[in-house]
Structure 1
Amino acid sequence: MFVLTGGPGSGKTSLLEHLRGRGLACVGEGGRAIIREELAHGGNALPWGDRQAFCRRMFEHAASTYAEAHESGGTWLFDRGLPDVLGYARLCGLAVDADLLQAARQLRYQPLVLLAPPWEAIYHNDAERKQDFAEAQRTAAVMREVYGELGYQVVELPLAGLEARADFVLEHLQA
């Protein structure tokens, strides 16, 4: 199980969709799904609403998808992992629940983590992404920091087209 992390708008989702099309088992980002669910049901567990509840929902999603992938076996690529939830809490100044910290330390992914760096040329906002580019840069820096603190080796993706990025990912997953 591998993780692709980074700031918002760095091309992670597009890359995972492309890799899924090339046969790689991928787990999508929980944050966007949670935002869509909350908006559809009038909930407030949102990054611009109840951030603590949003963080808790992301933790639950990350833990359950980790368990499902672990149970099924094989190679999986996650769009964000449990340490990303720690990074989100750090960015927002939220208290970190003990169970989240324990899960991030014990439920381990492969030691190599891929980081999609901030890329202003492709960055854009949408209904689910309201952060500005400066926050995207801060997010990527915090994710690098959190994964490093947990003992992961962080490797940055090149600022390149989709095919080149996909080839880079596949080469690193096989190494």
Structure 2
Amino acid sequence: MSASRFRHAVLTGAPGAGKTTLLNAAEATGLITSPEVARVLLRSPGGMALRRADPLAFAEAMIEAHAREYERHANAPGPVVFDRGFPDVVGFLDVSGLPVPKAVERACRTLRYSGPILRAPAWAEIYVQDAERIQDWDQAVASDEAVTAAWLRYGYDVIDLPLVPVAKRLEFVARLIQSPAA
């Protein structure tokens, strides 16, 4: 892929809407990617228990993990595609009815992404629950609404991904990342 003016692209949106599948396809083409930190945390010892018992502490762990990923890719030679970002944590807190801690607010305001924010809308045809994706369909839709509102709250423009097969989604993302007008 050619050089780009963007340092970041972020995949956000509904749980189970194809973000990780798209991220894996992007990585397979040679794009630099960053995994969904919530999944990494949930798969670590005690992660799911922490999410259930203390969602605020889980959110703080997510923001710290996002900060590590952001820093890890600070000098990347090309754009990095992130699976979720700082405002997604605010969406998680909002949908959970929890306050946004000052550290989370500060991260959202100071650690800024410089590229397209790509929303994977809720997509019933591909949605499935799994060991970490514990939301039912209605909760997944509510999560999508909350994270999208959080991105907008922090001044980002959000672009909807088309509801098309992953190869077509990847073409859409590649065009946006390479486009000087995006």
TM-score band, normalised by shorter chain: over 0.9
Quote the offset at 1:111 in angstroms: 4.8
TM-superposition CA deviations, 1:24-78 (whole Å, max 9, x none): 1010001111111034xx87312x2321121111111001101111133521010
Contact 1:38 1:45 in 2 (8 A): no
Partner-residue secondary structure (3-state), 2:12 = strand
5+ residue gaps in structure 2?
Answer: 1-7
TM-score computed with the length of structure 1 as normaliser: 0.93
Equivalent residue in structure 1 for 2:33, among 26, 36, 41: 26
Judge conservation of contact 1:24–1:75 (CA < 8 Å) in 2. yes
1:148–1:154 contact (8 Å) kept in structure 2 = yes
Residues 7 and 118 in structure 1, CA contact (< 8 A), matched pair in contact too = yes
Partners of 1:135 and 1:14 in 2: CA distance:
21
Q: Tell me the SS of whatever aligns to 1:44.
A: helix
Is it true that 1:158 corresponds to 2:165 in the alignment?
A: no
SS in 1 for 2:33: strand
Aligned to 2:13: 6
Among all aligned residue pairs of Structure 1 and Structure 2, give the percentage whose two residues are the same amino acid: 37
Amino acid at match of 1:92: S
Paired position in structure 2 for 1:61: 65
Task: Show the 5 A alignment for 1:12-161.
Answer: 12-39=19-46, 44-46=49-51, 48-161=52-165
- SS in structure 1 at match of 2:30: coil
Q: What are the ranges of 5 or more consecutive residues in structure 1 without an aligned counterpart? A: none
AA aligned opposite 1:22? T
Q: Aligned residue pairs: how many?
A: 172
Residues 111, 153 of structure 1: 8 Å contact kept = no
Contact 2:87 2:108 survives alignment (8 Å)? yes
Residue 164 of structure 1 deviates from its aligned partner by 0.4
3-state secondary structure, aligned to 2:73: helix
Distance 2:151 2:23 in 1: 20
What is the CA–CA distance in structure 2 between the aligned matches of 1:140 and 1:43, rounded to whole Å?
20
Give the distance between the partners of 1:22 and 1:71, measured in 2 at CA. Answer: 20
Q: Aligned to 1:155, what secondary structure does the other structure show?
A: strand
- List, as ranges, runs of 4+ consecutive aligned residues in structure 1 with deviation greater than 2 Å: 71-74
**Segment of structure 1 superposing worse, 86-95 or 155-164:** 86-95
TM-score by length of 2: 0.90
3-state DSSP of counterpart to 2:25: helix
More deviation, 106-115/154-163:
106-115
